[in-house]
Structure 1
Amino acid sequence: MKTDPSEEPRIESLSAVTLATRDMARAVPFYEALGFPLNFGGAQETFTSFALGTSFLNLIADSHGPVRGWGRVIIYVSDVDGIYRKALAAGLQPEFAPSDAPWGERYFHITDPDGHELSFAKPLRRQI
């Protein structure tokens, strides 16, 4: 018996990304300096969650060994250059200044205290 495609389970959205940290007291201020709104937890907790629209970026304390970055989290923002300036004003060091990519995004990268790479991006308007 064939099922109706409208009844097939489907992926709806990404709820959260959870990153491990060796030092929550260092990681939380890093994310707050970039403007991430704290939803739960904090610098002295073992689990912290930041709200990103309808999704969440979570941090979990991991004391079992060294934490190494594992890829990249891409976060869409309203103003890439504004977030870049905010990072610089907080004494953070992005990997490079915002630039326009050939795939149609303006973006920059910054690495968190545990080596996780964050990309702050915004789609560029298409020229018609």
Structure 2
Amino acid sequence: MAQSNASGAVIDAITSDAITIEGLSAVTLATRDMRRSVDFYCALGFEIRHGDAQAAFTTLACGPSFLNIIAETHGPVNWWGRLIIHVSDVDAMYRKARDAGLLPSRVPSDAPWGERYFHISDPDGHELSFARLLNPNEAVTGSTTPATTPTTTGTTRA
């Protein structure tokens, strides 16, 4: 909606009723096998908040956010991108996955964009990246990485 300011110029309305993006609440992933998906995420330390391994829809706690798993049997589940989950200790999370018999696609490593991370795919092929900033202060003050370096968060550093 446009409105005029005191000098008569048309400006975009930015009022107290403007909407602010506050954060990511949840991500919903489709699965062909709910039990297998729930077992996978529980082995990584996610906790069930709603549903269970037999439900058509299950919600798992993911820090202050949620991961929803929905049973989908109508078609193939195709690769769509990557879910990035910040954790307090990337190496401990890697060990937890390995100890549970899960197979990450790479060992934890330090990335040029300032994160330590590793990737693992869930039973339906959704790629997860468990990551932690190497120096949290750099995320606030700026980055020295080259332009267009992709980050695990899906953004590009400028």
Say yes or no: TM over 0.5: yes
Query: Aligned pairs, how many?
Result: 127
Q: Residues 106-117 of structure 1: matches in 2 within 5 Å?
A: 106-117=116-127
Q: Distance in 2 between matches of 1:14 and 1:45?
A: 24
Q: Distance in 2 between matches of 1:95 and 1:43?
A: 25
Ranges of 4+ aligned residues in structure 1 off by more than 3 Å:
2-7
Q: Distance in 2 between matches of 1:102 and 1:5?
A: 40
Q: Distance in 2 between matches of 1:69 and 1:51?
A: 23
Q: Residues 15-94 of structure 1: matches in 2 within 5 Å?
A: 15-94=25-104
- Superposition TM-score, scaled by structure 2 size: 0.76
Map Cα deviations across residues 43-77 of structure 1 (whole Å, 9 max, x no partner).
10000111112210110000101212311000000
Letter in 2 for 1:71: G
Identical aligned residues as a percent: 64
Q: Distance in 2 between matches of 1:60 and 1:4?
A: 37
Letter in 1 for 2:124: D
Structure number with higher relative contact order (C-alpha < 8 Å, ≥ 6 residues apart): 1
The equivalent of 1:103 in structure 2 is: 113
Deviation at 1:20, TM superposition (A): 0.2
Structure 1 unaligned blocks of 5 or more = none
SS in 1 for 2:84: strand
- Superposition TM-score, scaled by structure 1 size: 0.93
Distance change >3 Å, CA 96–CA 46, structure 1 → 2: same
Structure 2 unaligned blocks of 5 or more = 4-10, 139-158
The equivalent of 2:130 in structure 1 is: 120
Letter in 2 for 1:77: V
Deviation at 1:10, TM superposition (A): 1.9
